[in-house]
Amino acid sequence: MPGPGYAFLGHEERENVEKVLESWELTRFKRDNPNNPSFVDVFERLVERSFSAAHCVAVNSGTSALLTALAALDIGPGDEVIVPGYTFVASIGSIIYSGATPVLAEVDESLTLDPADVERRITPRTKAIMAVHMLGAPCDMNALTRLAERHGLLLIEDVAQACGASHEGRRLGTIGAAGAFSLNPFKVITSGEGGFFLTNDDHTHQRGYSFQDQGWFPGRTDIGSGDVLFGLNLRMADLAGAVACAQWEKLDHVLSETRRVKKQLADAVPERPGVRRRVLHDAAGECGTLLVYVFDRVADAQSVAAALDTKTLVDSGRHHYANMPQLAELSKPGGRPSPFRRGGEEGGHSYLPGSLPRTDDVLARSVAVAIGVSDSYLGAGFGVTVRSDDEEIAKAADRLSSTLDGVLG
Ligand SMILES: *Cc1c(COP(=O)(O)O)cnc(C)c1O
């Protein structure tokens, strides 16, 4: 089972897809009839309304949404963007392709950016902080917002893993200058491939729209108010829009089911010394897609992971900076991790394994139990699914409890 939304794919998605097939209107631009909006248009308006965001632009992936956010905010060569060393490789890759310089920062026991470490890494070239809401839970948005304001920085939210989560009542992705979401099958809800970008600022929206649609102004007009840009084609196709609309209507249900299963499993595993749950900056607002335990000792985390046929988070592929060979390449003079730049250009910044000792340590002490997202790549090879019944949840809780008893005594 990939993400929780995937488990709820059904006849609603199928009916929308059939409507697209009946008309063969496969792009978001319906020929001739402005009163008959495409699914992609409908999706954007649905998202704006339910998240109280001024603007949504649907795109073809979460990576495209991040690139769009960076371009919309005019981030490029010469700028530094602070990003956590624990995130999916796409967060860092999108910064590379914007031409800016990624600056890695530590995460704390929330597995999200440590604001104090972010502050230490600010230089006169820093333009933005990319806050990644990892494993379904919000970053410390109060501290990061204050920091961004104090230093005149842009805050970009990577909400790929936390669609629908909130922080103190505000939906993630609407707090910073822009939010980027993914709809790939491992995320909270899915359209197969897809993503979207949110902003409350009209100018940022115009630039974002133009970037993903070959420089057209919003509404696909030739002229508009704002900046002329070269864009790319990162548009969402209407078959994906059809699925996305049906999944969006299910978001609240998917989240409440995921949270219910998580609570049921977590409540059945008694607390004990030597381990605690990951710090949550808003326990009620997180998605609940993963239940993360942080151990005092690396050896205990390793023993528990091995007994559960999973691994500690330090070994999650392409989610820990030390598991990204591209970063090692970027550190080498003459290295070529991207066709648009050479290695060795990142003067003074280290990307090599060992450069974030606190991140390495906390990930080595962490084990994630799958709730709604089962992805061994993410390091969550053991757990339940959003469709698990009471018996399956109880069985998983028993295995987890007895493993913890066996290892921690
Ligand atoms: C999945 C993910 C992305 C990229 O999304 P795609 O739709 O796969 O391009 C970006 N950032 C994070 C944190 C992710 O988990």
166-188 per-position pLDDT tens digit: 999 999 999 999 999 999 999 99
pLDDT higher than 70, residue 248:
yes
pLDDT higher than 90, residue 331:
no
What atom of ligand 1 comes closest to residue 64's alpha carbon?
Answer: 9
132 lines ligand 1 (CB under 6 A): yes
pLDDT for 1 equals 63
What percent of the chain has pLDDT above 90? 87
| Pairwise CA distance, residues 408 & 295, whole Å | 10
Distance 195 CA to ligand 1 centre (A): 9
Reduced to 3 states (helix: H, G, I; strand: E, B; else coil), residue 272 is strand
Average pLDDT for 65-76: 98
**Nearest CA among 280, 267, 260, 295 for reference residue 372:** 260
pLDDT for 32 equals 63
pLDDT higher than 70, residue 80:
yes
- Structure token digits, residue 190: 């899915």
Mean pLDDT of the chain: 95
pLDDT for 81 equals 98
pLDDT higher than 80, residue 342:
no
- Structure token digits, residue 289: 């897609």
* Gyration radius of the chain over CA positions: 21
The partner residues of 156 in beta bridges, in order of sequence, read 130, 178
Average pLDDT for 348-361: 92
pLDDT higher than 80, residue 244:
yes
**Confidence at 35, pLDDT banded by 50, 70, 90:** confident
Distance 79 CA to ligand 1 centre (A): 22
| Pairwise CA distance, residues 397 & 391, whole Å | 10
pLDDT higher than 70, residue 291:
yes
Average pLDDT for 96-103: 95
Backbone phi, psi, residue 401, to 5°: -60, -45
182 lines ligand 1 (CB under 6 A): yes
Distance 158 CA to ligand 1 centre (A): 8
Average pLDDT for 320-334: 89
Tokens 């059939």 belong to: 18
| Pairwise CA distance, residues 92 & 96, whole Å | 6
Contacts of 251 (CB under 8 A, 6+ apart): 5, 50, 163, 164, 188, 189
What atom of ligand 1 comes closest to residue 66's alpha carbon?
Answer: 10
177-225 per-position pLDDT tens digit: 999 999 999 999 999 999 999 999 999 999 999 999 999 999 888 888 9
98 lines ligand 1 (CB under 6 A): no
